[in-house]
Homo-oligomer: A and B are copies of this chain.
Amino acid sequence: MRILAISGSLSVASSNTALLRAVALLSPDGVAVDLYEGLGELPHFNPDLDRDLDDPRLPVAVCDLRGRVGAAHVLLISSPEYAHGVPGSLKNALDWLVGGSEMPGKSVALVNASAHAVHAQASLSETLRTMSAALVPGSPFPVRLPGRERRPEELAQDPETRADLRALLAVLVEAGRAPPTFPSVDGLDGNA
């Protein structure tokens, strides 16, 4: 089973990225957690450049993103909130996935390591539902982080964080085993 983990922060010291690396450290046998590291390399979404996956004019970084999403059984997104909104770079990645065939029915789980960051999680959920993704029930999953230590190894060893991440992994494995669902497509339009 393949889980594609996407962090909404490009900061080297991001606690969201560290949390996803800790998930990878704790993953059971047979479950591969791959951290997507191409967010910062994606071009800005432009409808004029949005093409089918087999069209060589599709930007290479977008082709890579769609391929990784298509190959994953579950997506796991951990994101900060910037000014009560989704980080632009993360939303940009989702904008590139709207036109592809990878997201409808794809299981997507959100984690939230910051209890007060409610706006970005609500916005992400609305966008993912609009893209016909299958939001894993329980999203956003709260994860307790230790006060200071934010390296992946420490997160994986902290008793509370480890318990939360193991519980999350169990839910993800369950979601990845379930047959994909295809919610009704709604509200994808909008003027350009």
- A191 and B117 CA atoms in complex are apart in Å by 8
Q: Kindly identify which residue among B47, B85, B98, B187 contacts A123, using a CB–CB cutoff of 8 Å.
A: B85
Q: From residue 93 to 132 of chain A, which have CB atoms closer than 8 A to chain B? A: 93-95, 98, 113-114, 116-117, 119-120, 123, 126-127, 129-131
- A81 and B191 CA atoms in complex are apart in Å by 7
Give the Cβ gap from A118 to chain B, nearest Cβ, in Å.
10
How many copies the complex holds: the figure is 2
Interface residue tally on A, bucketed by range: 35 or more
**B94 and A83 form a contact (CB under 8 A):** yes
Known: A89-B92, A192-B14. A47 touches B9 (CB 8 A): yes
Known: A40-B44, A92-B88, A126-B119. A81 touches B190 (CB 8 A): yes
Q: From residue 41 to 59 of chain A, which have CB atoms closer than 8 A to chain B? A: 42-48
Q: Is A144 an interface residue (CB 8 A)?
A: no
Q: Kindly identify which residue among B87, B120, B131 contacts A83, using a CB–CB cutoff of 8 Å.
A: B131
**B192 and A80 form a contact (CB under 8 A):** yes
Q: From residue 27 to 43 of chain A, which have CB atoms closer than 8 A to chain B? A: 39-40, 42-43
Known: A10-B46, A92-B89, A92-B92. A114 touches B191 (CB 8 A): yes
Task: In the A-B complex, list the 5 residue pairs whose CB atoms are closest, starting with the nearest.
Answer: A88-B92, A88-B91, A44-B89, A81-B190, A10-B46
